Amino acid sequence: MELFANLALGMQTAFSLEALLFCFAGVFVGTFVGALPGIGPLVAISVTLPLTFGLDSTIALIMLAGIFYGAQYGGSVTSILLNLPGTASTAVTALDGYPMTRDGRAGLALFTNAAASFAGSSFAIILVMAFAPAIGRIAMDFNSTEYFSVMVLGLVAASTLSNGSTIKSFAMITFGLILGLVGMDLNSGAQRYTFGILQLTDGLSLIAVAMGMFGVAEIINKIAAPDSTATQRGAGGIGLRAMLPRRDELRRFWGPTGRGAALGSMVGALPGAGPSIASFMAYAVEKRVSRDPGKFGKGAIEGVAAPESANNASVQAAFIPTLSLGIPGDVVMAVLLGAMMMHGVVPGPAFISNEPAMFWALVVSFWIGNVMLLVLNIPLIGLFVKLVSIPGRFLYPTVMFFICMGSYSINNSTFDVYVTLVFGVLGYILLRFGFQPAPVLLGFILGPLIEENLRRSLVIARGDPMVFLDRPVSVALLSLSLLLILAPILRHLVVRWRGARHAG
């Protein structure tokens, strides 16, 4: 009964004309930026953030969240039609989605994408409704040691589960933690890594760092091959009839969608892991459980349904740790967390009990937004494909201005524009060296929180580090972190042992 009362509370706000309008604006912008390679939801959220300062905080969050999950839909459309993933999490969809387009089954691939995305999102929204308030209630009893351990787990998960080298991810997390420490320590007044620069006393701006590392860096990267994304046409004009699946195709849809939703929700709820990992894992699982793995990569419906369901479920489930613990589920969530703070909302265990109307309005808006996306994706596919054809020479300077305006307008500070550019160059260098920039941002966000809880725990325990092993939750979380660190080494040893046994 309490659930229905809460949903009714959320509906009051979410179904207001203003909320519907901004939800639509969010998912539309999200779909657009998701379709454009190089401009992800993170840049879009950062750029639109200043525009939301005049709005009610709930409406602003509804719009910003809409950009995030809308981007997953948009990215998939271009993956399927043009073999151009707009976001990293939709790259795996192209493996089977694009062959379907080449086989003349683009309509079916788009239907599978839209339906699986909606199913995955809906499943994860139910989990958000069920678990976020419960986790929030449990977390109210957390002390600083448990908070510290949750954040350590998030950082370890981000370095061990991310794509690419674990060592490089670990290095990026430490780099992010250092960036998070820049500025004046509020307890002692000591300056850290400010090098006498007055503007650094308050620390680096999250938005400036995020837009630099993800927006400017990506544009610099694309400038090397400016029109690689441009002028690909010819995939528009798909009718509704071409989208409808046959009965046997529908039968092959449900299993992968269900498994993708479950896996994606699990990965998304883990602090530090994001939709890219979810979609790649879902694809790998589907290939493994399939009776005919050879069909993957040649236009298998399962190869579209599973990753799409997983990445959308992951995006929605990422709201669980963000809203209930104040720990971002992934890098875009980190920026969304920053946006919430700028709107005077403090995410964390007390958020849901202090702001029930905002939480439930947000949850209801997720569903409204996903229905809008389902409806939007069918008639507007041709338009999104045309938008992707905007030549880079127009797109990149325009986006550069959006980024500069976004970073400037947060504090009306030219220094933030310089910071954005510096981190843009840094992000480009990191990309060229094979480093993932996402762990940097997670380390940057979690750094001050980790330090606060580390110091508080040690103060309470009079400097005894064993305090982190006093409470079972903390022990469990730290053990899980250790397991994640040791897992690759153990896997390696097992493989070698098996190899030796076979050779023997």
Partner 1 sequence: MHADDASDTIAPGAGSDLLAGGFLFAWAGVGWIGYLTNERLRASLESPSPDPGPALLALIVLWGLTLGGTAVTASGVWRRARGGRLRDGLEDARTHLRPAAFVVTLILLAVLLRPLGFLPAAGVFTACWLYGLTAGARLSLRHAALALLGGVLLPLGLQLVFAGLLLVPLPR
How many Cα neighbours within 13 Å face the side chain of 485? 13
Give whichever of 226 and 382 is closer to partner 1, judged by the CB atom: 226
Q: In the set 126, 168, 378, 475, which binds partner 1 (CB under 8 A)?
A: 168
437-to-211, 213, 404, 415, 476 alpha-carbon distances in Å? 11, 7, 20, 22, 29
Residue 399 engages partner 1 in binding (rule: CB under 8 A): no
Residue 284 engages partner 1 in binding (rule: CB under 8 A): no
CB 479, min distance to partner 1, A: 20
Residue 153 engages partner 1 in binding (rule: CB under 8 A): no
Q: Do residues 114 and 374 make contact, with C-beta atoms less than 8 angstroms apart? A: yes
Return the range that interacts with partner 1 (CB under 8 A); candidates 85-93, 121-129, 252-260, 301-309: 85-93
Return the range that interacts with partner 1 (CB under 8 A); candidates 63-71, 238-246, 251-259, 411-419: 411-419
251-to-104, 122, 246, 248, 302 alpha-carbon distances in Å? 20, 19, 9, 5, 10
Chain residues 458-487 in contact with partner 1, contact rule CB under 8 A: 458-459, 462-463
CB 311, min distance to partner 1, A: 14
Give whichever of 37 and 136 is closer to partner 1, judged by the CB atom: 37
Return the range that interacts with partner 1 (CB under 8 A); candidates 66-74, 120-128, 237-245, 392-400: 392-400
CB 192, min distance to partner 1, A: 6
Chain residues 9-68 in contact with partner 1, contact rule CB under 8 A: 37-38, 50-51
Give whichever of 93 and 324 is closer to partner 1, judged by the CB atom: 93
What is d(CA 340, CA 347) in angstroms, rounded to the nearest whole number? 7
Instruction: Quickly list DSSP for 127-180.
Output: HHHHHHHHHHHHHTT--HHHHHHHHHHHHHHHHHHSSS-HHHHHHHHHHHHHHH
CB 103, min distance to partner 1, A: 16
CB 209, min distance to partner 1, A: 14
Residue 115 engages partner 1 in binding (rule: CB under 8 A): no
Residue 444 engages partner 1 in binding (rule: CB under 8 A): no
Q: In the set 104, 239, 294, 434, which binds partner 1 (CB under 8 A)?
A: 434
Structure token pair of residue 326: 């104040």
Report the amino acid identity of residue 399. V
Q: Do residues 14 and 8 make contact, with C-beta atoms less than 8 angstroms apart? A: no
Chain residues 175-204 in contact with partner 1, contact rule CB under 8 A: 175, 177-178, 181, 185, 187-188, 190-193, 195
Residue 234 engages partner 1 in binding (rule: CB under 8 A): no
Q: How many CB atoms lie within 10 A of CB 258?
A: 17
What is d(CA 327, CA 442) in angstroms, rounded to the nearest whole number? 9
Instruction: Say how many residues touch partner 1, by CB under 8 A.
Output: 78
What is d(CA 478, CA 145) in angstroms, rounded to the nearest whole number? 10
Q: In the set 241, 433, 501, 503, which binds partner 1 (CB under 8 A)?
A: 433
Report the amino acid identity of residue 460. I
Q: Do residues 254 and 115 make contact, with C-beta atoms less than 8 angstroms apart? A: no
Q: In the set 13, 46, 76, 79, which binds partner 1 (CB under 8 A)?
A: 79
Give whichever of 350 and 459 is closer to partner 1, judged by the CB atom: 459
Give whichever of 71 and 361 is closer to partner 1, judged by the CB atom: 71
Q: In the set 137, 202, 244, 401, which binds partner 1 (CB under 8 A)?
A: 401
What is d(CA 106, CA 86) in angstroms, rounded to the nearest whole number? 17
Residue 387 engages partner 1 in binding (rule: CB under 8 A): no
Those residues whose C-beta lies under 8 Å from the C-beta of residue 445, and which sit 6 or more positions away, are 176, 180, 206, 328, 334, 337, 338
What is d(CA 257, CA 118) in angstroms, rounded to the nearest whole number? 10
Return the range that interacts with partner 1 (CB under 8 A); candidates 64-72, 123-131, 347-355, 433-441: 433-441
What is d(CA 384, CA 33) in angstroms, rounded to the nearest whole number? 10
Label residue 433 exposed, middle or buried (CB < 10 Å: 0-12, 13-18, 19+).
exposed
Give whichever of 38 and 274 is closer to partner 1, judged by the CB atom: 38
Residue 425 engages partner 1 in binding (rule: CB under 8 A): yes
Return the range that interacts with partner 1 (CB under 8 A); candidates 173-181, 304-312, 325-333, 340-348: 173-181
What dihedral angle (degrees, nearest 10) is formed by the CA atoms of 403, 91, 275, 484?
Answer: -110
Report the amino acid identity of residue 459. V
What is d(CA 205, CA 214) in angstroms, rounded to the nearest whole number? 14
Q: In the set 17, 167, 466, 500, which binds partner 1 (CB under 8 A)?
A: 167
CB 166, min distance to partner 1, A: 10
Q: Which residues pair with 183 in a beta bridge?
A: 192
CB 490, min distance to partner 1, A: 19
